[in-house]
Each structure stands twice: as structure tokens, then as C-alpha cells.
């Protein structure tokens, strides 16, 4: 199951829970994460979560920023005739206003969402309609969305080069389509922080280096990138120090940095995994702690936000994966019942400067 299909299925599946009773968690007296951190602490959400009082209570206690997991993506917004449906995204924006949370827009242009309506457009209409979509979406949330993932995941899966997609084919390669999206987004909102977002940047040094080269080239060309997003879907088996090294390189641009989609799967996807639960949980804690410490080591002006990709384990998109993860994965800070896990206490202590 691809990430694209997981996201499409998620609104109906996110609240179903897992197939076995959650692992018992120790009783942890966790302070509010948002009160301990000197920067916004974010979480992703879908509209179905808003009908779950336990989720609302957990999120309002610990998080100060919200990223729509699905409802601001092109496949949700664009109807078959090219008109836009903001019903679901408006509901999440209203929830943020009610809870006094920051709203983060995710995502405008993503290689994985080549909407059929855009694919069918003739060449002489494509640029106009692309710009209309980006402009209309950003303008609708101007003054409410503090930032946007303008372009998502442009680097090739293995890190060797960049993805070819509908947008790159129509706008002359990776630089052309990224520059156009950022230029239009900046015209639509002169205040929002505009991010280039990607994943596996800490896990794969080749991909991290390709991302850094792309950012350098785009900035030199005048592209209005004003923030850098690293998703941080962490591989818990990567060597110690690899996360820290990448974060230092990322900081070299002097731009705000968003840890935008943190989770850390306990599952490897291997047919045979002889690691004990205790070993995997220790590896998970070590990698998440390293990320939190590396983020805290950034200059304060660069610590834009630290977002986890789901409030509870049962909310995680990894529960639906076939290539790892699965219904028993526990990749987040809170268990299925919303109880904090030891890794959440680690993060809170780091954020508090302990």
C-alpha cells in the first residue's frame, strides 16, 4: 500500500484502533509538551479526530500547532471539474482558531498527487490553472496559516537526483516547478513561512546531501524559500550521530527549520526480525532523543516547530502500512489510549532544558 493510498483510506480507518490490546504503559506524570517547549509543538489531524473527545483533550493539552494530514492535499481539495472544495480544511482551520492553535498548511504541490483534472489540461491552460490553484488555496488561509509546505518530496527515493513528475515535465524540471510554486505562494501570502519539505533526509545521507544541494541552488536563483522541512520519519537503526550531523548541515542556511512529521517505527519490514521489544524501544528512544536534542541545539530563531505525525499510536498512518509498520506498530509519543510513553517524557525533559 503506497503512502498515497494510505492517506486516501485514512479518514475512515484512523479511529479503528489496532488488532490487539495496547501494550501497558508505565504511569508517567507528563507536563504539557507545549508548555515545556520554547517553540510550537505540532501534531497532524484529520476531521474524524475532531469527533473524538479523548483526542481533543490530548491535543489541546499538549500541542500548539496543527497540520492537516489529508484535508489540504490536492486530491482532497480539487474536484473532478477543477473546482475546489474547502469544507474539510475549513473545519480543521476553525478547530485551530477555537483551540488557539497555529495552523500549518500541507501541502500545495506533491509529486504523488498528479490530479487527473490537471493531467488532462491542454498545454495552454496548465500554467494558469496551476497558479490559480496555488493562489486560491494560499489566499483562503492567509492570516490563518502561519506557513506552508509549498513543495513536498522533490528528491528521488534513493537520493540520487530528483523526481520526475507532472509538474517537472510541464515546468522544465525540478527547479522550474519548485520556483513557480514558491513564487505564486509568496504573491498570495507575503507573511507565511514557505517550506521545502522532504523525508529520509536523516536516514539516508545521500538523500540529505541532494536536498541540501537543491536548497542551495534554489536560494541562489532567488526562490523565496523561507523555511526548511525535514519530515523525520526516523529509521531507528541508523548510526548514532547521523541525525545530529544532518541537522547541523541544515542549520547552515540560517533558515527556520520544521521537524514536520516525526514518527519512529518499531518495525523493520524484514521477514525475520530477531530484535526484542525492549531493544527496539531502546533504539526508538535513542533516535527520538537525538533528534530532539539536535533541534534544541539550533539557534532559537531557527527552531520553527517540532511536529509529530499523529497524537496516539492508533492515529498513525504506519498502522496501515504493508511494507513495515502494521497494526501493532507503536511509532508515536502516546499509546493507543493517549497515555504518555517513556519517550514522551524524554522529549519533555529535553524541551524544558533538562
Residues with catalytic annotation?
153, 198, 261
Determine the Cα–Cα distance for residues 82 and 93; give it in Å rounded to an integer.
22
Q: Give the DSSP letter of residue 88.
A: H
Contact 280, 272 (CB under 8 A): no
Q: Is the preceding peptide bond at 29 cis, omega within 30 degrees of 0?
A: no
Cell matching residue 253: 542556511
Cell matching residue 312: 496516539
Q: Parallel, antiparallel, or unpaired: how do β-strands 303-308 and 257-264 relate?
A: parallel
205-220 vs 242-251: helix crossing angle, rounded to 10: 0
205-220 vs 173-188: helix crossing angle, rounded to 10: 60
Determine the Cα–Cα distance for residues 353 and 32; give it in Å rounded to an integer.
14
Helix (H, G, I), strand (E, B) or coil at 60: helix
Look at the block and give the residue holding cell 548510526.
239
Per DSSP, the residues of 159-211 read: SSSB---HHHHHTTHHHHHHHHHHHHHHHH-SSSEEEEEESSTTT-HHHHHHH
* H-run or E-run covering 49: none
Amino acid at each position: 500500500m503506497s503512502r498515497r493510498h494510505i492517506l486516501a483510506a485514512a479518514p475512515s480507518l484512523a479511529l479503528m484502533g489496532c488488532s490487539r490490546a495496547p501494550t501497558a504503559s508505565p504511569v508517567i506524570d507528563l507536563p504539557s509538551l507545549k508548555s515545556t517547549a520554547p517553540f510550537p509543538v505540532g501534531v497532524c489531524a484529520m476531521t474524524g479526530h475532531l469527533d473524538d473527545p479523548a483526542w481533543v483533550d490530548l491535543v489541546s493539552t499538549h500541542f500548539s500547532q496543527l497540520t492537516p494530514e489529508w484535508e489540504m492535499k490536492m486530491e482532497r481539495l480539487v474536484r473532478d471539474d477543477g473546482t475546489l472544495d474547502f469544507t474539510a480544511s475549513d473545519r480543521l482551520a476553525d478547530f485551530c482558531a477555537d483551540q488557539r492553535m497555529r495552523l500549518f498548511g500541507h501541502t500545495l504541490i506533491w509529486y504523488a498527487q498528479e490530479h487527473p483534472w490537471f493531467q488532462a489540461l491542454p498545454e495552454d491552460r496548465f500554467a494558469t490553472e496551476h497558479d490559480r490553484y496555488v493562489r486560491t488555496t494560499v489566499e483562503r488561509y492567509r492570516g490563518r496559516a502561519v506557513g506552508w509546505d509549498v513543495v513536498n518530496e522533490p528528491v528521488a527515493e534513493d537520493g540520487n537526483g530528483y523526481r520526475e513528475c507532472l509538474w517537472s515535465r510541464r515546468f522544465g524540471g525540478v527547479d522550474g516547478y519548485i520556483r513557480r510554486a514558491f513564487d505564486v505562494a509568496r504573491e498570495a501570502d507575503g507573511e507565511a513561512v514557505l517550506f521545502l519539505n522532504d523525508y529520509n533526509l536523516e536516514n539516508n545521507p545521500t538523500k540529505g546531501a541532494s536536498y541540501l544541494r537543491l536548497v542551495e541552488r534554489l536560494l541562489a536563483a532567488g526562490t523565496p524559500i523561507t523555511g526548511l522541512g525535514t519530515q523525520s520519519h526516523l529509521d531507528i537503526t541508523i548510526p548514532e550521530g547521523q541525525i545530529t550531523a544532518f541537522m547541523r548541515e541544515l542549520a547552515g542556511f540560517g533558515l527556520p527549520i520544521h521537524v514536520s512529521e516525526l514518527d519512529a517505527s518499531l518495525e523493520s519490514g524484514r521477514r525475520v526480525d530477531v530484535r526484542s521489544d525492549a531493544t527496539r524501544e531502546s533504539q526508538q528512544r535513542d533516535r527520538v532523543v537525538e533528534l530532539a536534542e539536535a533541534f534544541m541545539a539550533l539557534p532559537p530563531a531557527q527552531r520553527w516547530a517540532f511536529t509529530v505525525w499523529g497524537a496516539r499510536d492508533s492515529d498513525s498512518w504506519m498502522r496501515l502500512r504493508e511494507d513495515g509498520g502494521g497494526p501493532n506498530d507503536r511509532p508515536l509519543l502516546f499509546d493507543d489510549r493517549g497515555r504518555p510513553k517513556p519517550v514522551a517524557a524524554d522529549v519533555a525533559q529535553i524541551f524544558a532544558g533538562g
